[in-house]
Structure formats: structure tokens, C-alpha cells
């Protein structure tokens, strides 16, 4: 009997060896014939399903011959051989044959995109990037097929109108697709983006901004009431500034009052937004899990936020108000026109409705938080601003400011610009894919088909671009221009056709909030507050969210 078993066992072993060898060849060919050929992140769910089905098929096939126990052993061994060969081929290629093999960067980043989540583990990816550039120089290989470039020349080569770099297949943009459509920020082609942006620009004309100012002033007065009601007690200005901007976008975006500023706490929509961005921030620009989450139906908070944004759009759409006194009114006008430019369906309306809330809430709120921090750290600027601002109070509207008047004050804009330089919430501008012929940046050739991005946080704090880059010096934008070595390095609102469409609105909001605050209050750090937490506890959730900052506001006499 033993003599019969031994040949049978040997034959089974030989069969398994041949199967593993075939699997190893398949793994190698999968890499060189498929995975190496282009951007595969958006196929991640189908790739996962295919591999699971293959594993199940092998297991089922062997089970009919040798039993389930043997089947799991065989299928696991075969898949281990396949995966070992696949990943050996991938790692070998990325280290020794990839077009970026000669660019400096951490070894782990050259091998795997999981280096991104590692750098984002503490949700302070922007600080990790600073360390990388100090160690490796101005061009760093941050992922197998991606470079971070600290250079004003890169801004022009990557983002300018004449650039041939594209969004498609560069990273997160592909994952922003929803039922075949994208919001304005996610649109992959310049032609589609151009038509959609035209509708947005109708909502951002000088005439429309003047209409929105009434809502901005209303929110400013609610803000002042909240500061006054604290009666000299410490206030978390980071939270309050974020609530202010969300309340503002409710009014300006949808003619809707959220009431969050008066309540002093986030509503469900803000909470979903923070959770959603927090998860994406911790993923460290890793894109391929997103289609898997979507395919498995586990993108819960994102879906809940989108649902609430859709309800906001439907409420406004069904209100019977046919006006364009808010941003969404322009979208509805285009949707309901005989020849719409870009809003051809309600789905498009819903996507850009969500973008209204996402684009302005954290960004403006973060800048205001840090601006108040800098003015409290440097109280002489409060006095200087008061001297310039006070003569404009009631100049055109009794008891009020106008954004137009405030835009003439060099020091006010200088303080805002200096805050955006030091603490721009968009630390990592989204990637672009280089054209097949590649690009030249500062004399260095960047091959084609490479994801490239300019980390604004790092460039804005670069000694090559700014003297004393870590210091808050508003005068660099007014009386001391020599402190700006490279003016092109300052790009808080991006540049080119994808620059921030709402930048004038954002500046108006910040000017008005600061002006009303300065005229009505003196402010300082609360007792026991040293201002460290606003940086130490900041979280990079795709946009940087400032840490808590306790301040005391004292009514001026």
C-alpha cells in the first residue's frame, strides 16, 4: 500500500510544482503585459474581483479531485507563486528600469505607493514633505510614478494654460467620477472644464460679488455677536472661523441659513465632510482603494454628504425662486435654459452643489484661523490695521464696510497674503500627468507619463523663494519686496485654467471678517494658550485643518 501512495504523492508534488511555475510566469506576464502599461487605479475593484474569482476557481477545481483541504493548500501555493513573481517583477522594474529610477527619494517610496499613507500616518503630511525636501533636494520621487517638485518653473510647466500636462490618469481626479459625471474640480478635459467654468464665472462677476456682500455682512454681524456674547471668555477661534465660512456658503451658495455659527457646533453635513476628508487624508494620496470602497458599498460618509448636498440643491430648485442672488441660482439657470452650456442634468447640479460647500468651507476658515493667530502673535499689526481700516467705516454704507473699499488697503491684503503663504490650507496641489514627450523643469528632464505636483506648503516656505521664509512679515508684499526672491513662487489660488474660480469671493470674505473684527475687538491668546496647538494639532485632510486656538476678544471702547 505504501508503495502505491509514494508515487501518488510524488506526482501530486510535481503537479503542484508545475502549477506554481505556471503561476509565476503568469505573475510576471501580468506585470509586463498589463499592469506596466498604464494607469490601473480605477480598475482596482474589477482586478480584486478577478483575483478572488481566480482563487475560488482554482480551489473549486482542485476540490473536486482532492478534497477541500488539499484544494486550499494548492490554491494558496499557486497564488503565492503568482503574487511573489508579480511583486518581484514590479519591485525590480521600479528600482532598476523605471524612468524615474535616477531621481532621489526614499527607497520605500520608489517601491510602493503605501509610502504615502505612511507619511500621512500622523495626518501631518505637509511636515513630512518638508523633511523630504531638506534631505533630497527640490525634486523628490515620492511614489513609484510620481515626483514632487519645489520650483516656480514647475508651476508654469505643469499648470499654465500652455502646459500639455493633464489631469486624466494623474491621480485622485479619476476617482471623482460619479455616474459618468464630475464636478468642476474633477473634470478631466480642458474643453469640458472650460464650458462648466463659464457658468461658475457668471456667478463670480463683479456685479454678483456685490450682491453676495450683503450676505457676507450678515454673517460678519453674527460672528461679532458670538464674539461679544463670550464676554471675554476664551473662544476656540478655529472652530468658530470654520463655522463662519460654512454659514457663509449656505447663504451665498444656496440662500440658506444653517445656523451653525449661532449654535457653536458642527452640523451633520460638516461632520460627514470632516470624516470623509480625514479618511482620504490618511490615505496619503493613495487612490486605488477608493474604487474598491465604492464597489463594496462602504463609502458611507461620502454618500451621506452627497445626499445632504443633493437635498440642498433640490430645496433650492423647488423653492420657486427664479433668481441668481446665490451661486446655485446660476447653475439652475443654465440647467433650465433651452441651450445649457454645461449643466445638462440634475446629477451635474448635485455634484457642483457639493463642491460649493467643500471648496470654500475649510479653505477660507483655515486662513482666517491662522490670520487671527498671526495678528494675536503680532498685536502691533492690529493697531496698524485699525488705523487704515477705521476711515473706511461707513464711507459708502452707513455703519458698514464694503469689500471694494477694503481692497484698497495694502496692509490688509499683505496680512492675508502672508498668511496664505505661510499657512495655505491646500498643501498638496493635485497632480498632473506629463505629456508623452516629457517636460523640462529648471533644466531637468521629466519623462512622459509621470505624475507631477508642486507642494505649495513647501515652496511657500522655501529659502530659495523667500527671505526669512518661516517668519510672518506682511511688509514683504508692500514696503519690503526684496524679501520675495521669486514672486512666481506664490500661488495660493493656483494658476492657469484651473485656478480658483472663487478667489475674489474668498478675498472679499476675509477682508470683511478681519475689518469688522479689528474695528470692534482687541484679541489675544487666552490665559494658558501659547499658540502651539494650532500647528502641533493641525491635521492634513487633503486640506490642512488648523488645530485649536483659544483666544479672548475684548470689546473696543
Q: Distances in Å between the alpha carbon of 63 and those of 15, 52, 71?
A: 15, 16, 5
Distance CA 236, CA 258 (A): 20
Distance CA 498, CA 51 (A): 38
CB atoms under 10 Å from CB of 114, counted, come to: 13
Per-residue pLDDT of the chain (557 residues; tens, 9 = 90+): 444 444 454 555 667 888 899 999 999 999 999 999 888 888 889 999 999 999 888 888 888 877 788 888 888 999 999 999 999 999 999 999 999 999 999 999 999 999 988 988 888 889 999 999 999 999 999 999 999 999 999 999 999 999 999 998 887 888 788 778 899 998 999 999 999 999 999 999 999 999 999 999 999 999 999 999 999 999 999 999 999 999 999 999 999 999 999 999 888 888 877 777 777 777 777 888 888 888 887 766 677 888 888 999 999 998 877 778 999 999 999 999 999 999 999 999 999 998 998 876 678 999 999 999 999 999 999 999 999 999 999 999 999 999 999 999 999 999 999 999 999 998 887 899 999 999 999 999 999 999 999 999 999 999 999 999 999 999 999 999 999 999 999 999 999 999 999 999 999 999 999 999 999 999 999 999 999 999 999 998 778 899 999 999 999 97
Q: Find out whether 148 and 419 touch, Cβ atoms under 8 Å.
A: no
- The dihedral through the CA atoms of 131, 137, 138, 139 has a sign that is negative
Amino acid 96: pLDDT: 97
- Could you list the residues known to form a binding site for heme, using ranges: 500
Secondary structure of 216-261 as H, E, C letters: HHHHHHHHHHHHHHCCCCCEEHHHHHHHHHHHHHHHHHHCCCCCHH
Q: For 232-266, b where at least 16 C-beta lie within 10 A, e where not — what string? A: eebbbbbbbbbbbbbbbbbbbbbbbebebbeeeeb
Instruction: Using DSSP, state whether 325 is helix, strand or coil.
Output: coil
Q: Find out whether 89 and 24 touch, Cβ atoms under 8 Å.
A: no
Domain ranges for the chain, please list them.
Answer: 2-96, 158-555
Distance CA 81, CA 554 (A): 70
Q: Which residue has the cell 517601491?
A: 111
Distance CA 125, CA 286 (A): 13
Phi, psi of 317 (to 5 degrees): -65, -35
Distance CA 524, CA 80 (A): 61
DSSP-assigned letters across all residues of 60-81: HHHHHHH-HHHHHHHHHHHHHH
Secondary structure of 128-180 as H, E, C letters: HHHHHHHHHCCEEEEECCEEEECCHHHHHHHHCCCCCCECCCCCHHHHHCECC
Cα angle at 148 between 142 and 154, to 5 degrees?
160
Largest separation between any pair of C-alpha atoms in the chain: 107
Q: Which pTM was predicted?
A: 0.93
Distance CA 269, CA 246 (A): 10
CB atoms under 10 Å from CB of 556, counted, come to: 10
Distance CA 142, CA 461 (A): 19
Distance CA 118, CA 399 (A): 52
DSSP-assigned letters across all residues of 94-133: HHHTSTTTTS---HHHHH-TTHHHHHTTTS-HHHHHHHHH
Q: Does domain 158-555 have CATH number 1.10.630.10?
A: yes
Amino acid 178: pLDDT: 78
Amino acid at each position: 500500500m505504501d508503495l502505491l501512495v509514494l508515487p501518488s504523492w510524488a506526482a501530486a508534488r510535481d503537479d503542484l510544482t508545475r502549477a506554481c511555475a505556471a503561476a509565476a510566469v503568469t505573475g510576471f506576464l501580468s506585470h509586463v503585459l498589463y499592469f506596466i502599461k498604464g494607469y490601473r487605479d480605477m480598475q482596482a475593484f474589477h482586478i480584486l474581483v478577478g483575483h478572488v474569482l481566480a482563487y475560488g476557481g482554482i480551489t473549486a477545481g482542485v476540490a473536486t479531485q482532492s478534497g477541500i483541504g488539499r484544494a486550499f493548500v494548492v490554491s494558496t501555493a499557486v497564488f503565492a507563486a503568482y503574487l511573489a513573481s508579480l511583486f518581484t517583477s514590479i519591485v525590480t522594474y521600479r528600482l532598476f528600469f523605471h524612468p524615474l529610477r535616477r531621481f532621489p527619494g526614499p527607497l520605500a517610496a520608489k517601491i510602493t505607493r503605501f509610502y504615502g499613507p505612511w507619511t500621512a500616518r500622523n495626518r501631518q503630511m505637509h511636515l513630512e514633505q518638508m523633511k523630504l525636501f531638506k534631505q533630497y533636494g527640490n525634486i523628490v520621487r515620492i511614489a513609484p510614478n510620481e515626483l514632487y517638485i519645489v520650483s516656480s518653473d514647475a508651476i508654469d510647466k505643469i499648470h499654465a494654460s500652455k502646459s500639455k500636462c493633464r489631469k486624466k490618469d494623474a491621480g485622485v481626479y479619476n476617482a471623482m467620477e460619479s455616474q459618468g459625471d464630475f464636478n468642476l474640480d474633477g473634470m478631466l478635459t480642458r474643453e469640458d472644464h472650460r464650458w462648466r467654468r463659464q457658468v461658475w464665472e457668471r456667478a463670480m462677476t463683479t456685479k454678483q460679488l456685490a450682491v453676495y456682500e450683503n450676505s457676507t455682512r450678515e454673517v460678519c454681524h453674527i460672528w461679532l455677536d458670538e464674539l461679544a456674547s463670550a464676554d471675554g471668555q476664551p473662544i476656540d477661534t478655529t472652530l468658530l472661523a470654520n463655522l463662519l465660512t460654512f454659514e457663509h456658503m449656505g447663504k451665498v451658495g444656496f440662500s440658506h441659513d444653517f445656523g451653525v455659527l449661532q449654535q457653536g457646533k458642527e452640523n451633520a453635513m460638516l461632520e460627514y465632510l470632516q470624516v470623509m476628508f480625514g479618511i482620504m487624508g490618511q490615505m496619503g494620496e493613495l487612490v486605488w482603494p477608493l474604487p474598491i470602497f465604492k464597489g463594496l458599498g462602504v463609502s458611507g460618509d461620502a454618500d451621506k454628504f452627497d445626499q445632504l448636498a443633493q437635498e440642498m440643491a433640490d430645496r433650492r430648485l423647488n423653492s420657486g425662486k427664479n433668481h441668481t442672488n446665490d451661486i446655485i441660482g446660476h447653475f439652475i439657470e443654465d440647467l433650465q435654459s433651452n441651450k445649457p452650456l454645461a449643466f445638462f442634468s440634475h446629477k451635474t447640479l448635485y455634484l457642483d452643489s457639493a463642491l460649493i460647500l467643500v471648496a470654500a468651507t475649510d479653505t477660507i476658515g483655515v486662513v482666517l484661523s491662522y490670520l487671527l493667530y498671526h495678528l494675536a502673535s503680532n498685536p502691533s499689526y492690529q493697531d496698524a490695521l485699525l488705523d487704515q481700516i477705521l476711515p473706511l467705516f461707513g464711507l459708502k454704507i452707513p455703519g458698514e464696510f464694503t469689500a471694494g473699499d477694503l481692497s484698497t488697503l495694502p496692509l490688509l491684503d499683505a496680512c492675508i497674503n502672508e498668511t496664505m503663504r505661510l499657512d495655505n490650507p491646500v498643501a498638496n496641489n493635485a497632480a498632473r500627468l506629463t505629456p508623452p514627450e516629457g517636460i523640462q523643469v529648471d533644466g531637468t528632464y521629466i519623462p512622459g507619463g509621470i505624475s507631477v505636483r508642486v507642494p505649495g506648503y513647501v515652496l511657500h516656505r522655501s529659502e530659495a523663494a523667500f527671505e526669512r521664509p518661516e517668519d510672518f512679515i506682511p511688509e514683504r508684499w508692500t514696503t519690503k519686496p526684496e524679501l520675495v526672491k521669486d514672486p512666481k513662487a506664490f500661488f495660493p489660488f493656483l494658476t492657469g485654467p484651473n485656478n480658483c474660480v472663487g478667489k475674489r469671493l474668498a478675498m472679499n470674505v476675509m477682508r470683511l471678517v478681519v475689518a469688522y473684527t479689528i474695528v470692534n475687538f482687541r484679541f489675544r491668546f487666552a490665559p494658558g494658550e501659547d499658540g502651539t496647538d494650532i500647528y502641533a494639532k493641525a491635521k492634513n485632510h487633503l486640506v490642512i485643518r488648523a488645530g485649536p486656538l483659544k483666544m479672548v476678544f475684548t470689546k473696543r471702547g
